[in-house]
Amino acid sequence: MTQESRKIALDRAVTLKESIKEYLEARPAIPTGFTLKKEYAASRKRIMEIFKATGEEWGDWHWQISNRVSSVDALSKFLNLSPEEARQIEEVGQRFRWSVSPYYLSLMDPDDPKCPVRRQAVPSINEIHDTYGKDDPMAEEFTSPADNITRRYPDRLIINVTNQCAMYCRHCQRRRNIGEVDQPVSEAELQKALDYIRANEEIRDVLVTGGDPLTLSDDHIDWILTELGKIPHVEVKRIGSRTPVTMPQRITQKLCDMLEKHHPFYLNTHFNHPKEVTQEAMEACRRLAKAGIPLGNQAVLLRGINNNPHVMKKLNQELLRILVKPYYIFHAKLVKGTTHFVTPVQDGIEIMEYLRGQTSGLAIPTYLINAPRGKGKTPILPNYLISWGSDYVVIRNWEGEAFRYPNVNPL
């Protein structure tokens, strides 16, 4: 290396260091589950005292499900609600069901209504003032060739196996299915869905979802995956679950041992903010990874929660820390009662533009808009291809520099 080349390299390093300065200044103000570890421990202790719960009960997912908070009176024991906020939650609850696990409750700031965890779980008056959203903007009824099946693509489909979740997210795309009673799909009904898959040999990939499939018993999940495994043309099985985020106690060693029998098996989860990436979530995800289960994250771009390039960058880096690959960022769907979360598409493009070059490719998911009426996921990307000719293209890099690049076959 010459003295001149070393100088060029050092000058370049200075430029790169300057480009990350804004993020380094913003990072201390972005809370994460790890930086809030002491606060979360104190909150957990307080909630356990109110419930008179033992450590063993807190660590039992059945206890977490059974003790979900779903009334204003109960919620007010844990969060400092103003009279107006309490009234509004009561009003919204008459139209839209809500419920939150004690664990997820422990991640909320009791004094801040704008807490990004709290906003995902506690009803907002905006939900009943929504005149824009639709019950089913994805038109799933028109992509359901059999009961409990959603099919949008040639070689894969979804089975919906329950309407139950550990927590009912305020941005849920299927809130129309929640109802007032937790209702797993019966084995007889699931057999009809399995019969459809058996009859269509092009189906090689099946996603089991709901609701949240991991609210079912280990035996029931095992039965579903076993039946899918008996179908010769089904090559890949997947589960979509938010329990690693909202109730990581569900990810027991027994569950992981059972899931390990069903490889190739994948699990996608749904972290939306760095505050959700906690010690407990890390232990759950590492337990799954140790069982050989690849983990992906499907975040939703939500106004006031994560529609900020620095927050999304920190989230994705925290996910890699717990062995979860950022997979998708979904543009929020126009679901009735949720459109106060919807951002301009430009927010998503800005985030993708910012992530490229500023962090590892491992930490860069794909930003997607679900086309209306079930027409499928559409990737939305910044434009890096500027123009082209017969033997060249003009591209730009993450710093905005344009380059003419040969587009020929040298052979």
Question: Rounded to the nearest 5 degrees, what angle is found at the Cα of 34, between the Cα atoms of 29 and 35?
Answer: 35
pLDDT for the residue numbered 134:
82
Q: Which CATH number describes the domain made up of 140-379?
A: 3.20.20.70
| In the chain, domain spans | 1-30, 32-124, 140-379, 383-411
Nearest residue to 108 via CA among 87, 122, 98, 129: 122
Question: For 21-25, what is the mean pLDDT?
Answer: 96
Share of the chain above pLDDT 70, in %: 99
Residue 135 clears pLDDT 90, i.e. is over it = no
Confidence of residue 274 (pLDDT cuts 50, 70, 90): very high
Distance between CA atoms of residues 165 and 241, nearest Å: 9
By DSSP bridging, strand 402-406 and strand 392-396 are antiparallel
d(CA 369, CA 344): 12
Which residue in 218, 258, 267 sits closest to 238, CA to CA?
267
Concatenating the DSSP letter of every residue in 154-165 gives SSEEEEE--S--
In angstroms, the CA 209 to CA 61 distance is 19
Q: Note the pLDDT tens digit of each residue in 306-356.
A: 999 999 999 999 999 999 999 999 999 999 999 999 999 999 999 999 999
Residue 411: what pLDDT?
Answer: 67
Name the token pair of 208: 């089991």
Average pLDDT over residues 162-175: 91
In the DSSP assignment, the letter for residue 307 is -
Does residue 78 contact residue 264 with C-beta atoms inside 8 Å?
Answer: no
Which two three-digit tokens encode residue 70?
Answer: 């779903």
In one letter, which amino acid is 91? E
User: How deeply is 57 buried, as exposed, middle or buried, from its count of CB atoms within 10 A (0-12, 13-18, 19+)?
Assistant: middle
Residue 410: CA count within 13 A, CB half-sphere = 1
For residue 381, report the phi and psi dihedrals to the nearest 5 degrees.
-130, 150
Query: Cα torsion for 398, 401, 402, 403, to the nearest 10°?
Result: -90
- Predicted confidence band of residue 179 (pLDDT cuts 50, 70, 90): low
Element (H, E) at 292: none
How far is residue 238's CA from residue 209's CA, in Å, rounded to a whole number? 9
Task: Determine if the pTM surpasses 0.85.
Answer: yes
Say how far apart CA 88 and CA 208 lie, in whole Å: 35
Please state at what angle helix 218-229 crosses helix 187-198, rounded to 10 degrees: 20
Q: Answer yes or no: are the C-beta atoms of 201 and 233 closer than 8 Å.
A: yes
Which among 212, 257, 275, 247 has a CA at the least distance from the CA of 40? 275
Beta strands, E only, 241-360 = 265-269, 295-301, 325-331
Residue 271 has pLDDT above 70, yes or no: yes
- Using CA atoms, how far apart are residues 206 and 265, in angstroms rounded to an integer? 10
**C-beta atoms surrounding 357 within 10 Å:** 13
Query: DSSP assignment, residue 379?
Result: E
Measured between alpha carbons, how far is residue 184 from residues 19, 48, 152, 255 in Å? 51, 29, 23, 18
> Band of the pLDDT at 102, cuts 50, 70, 90?
very high
Structure tokens at 381: 């990307």
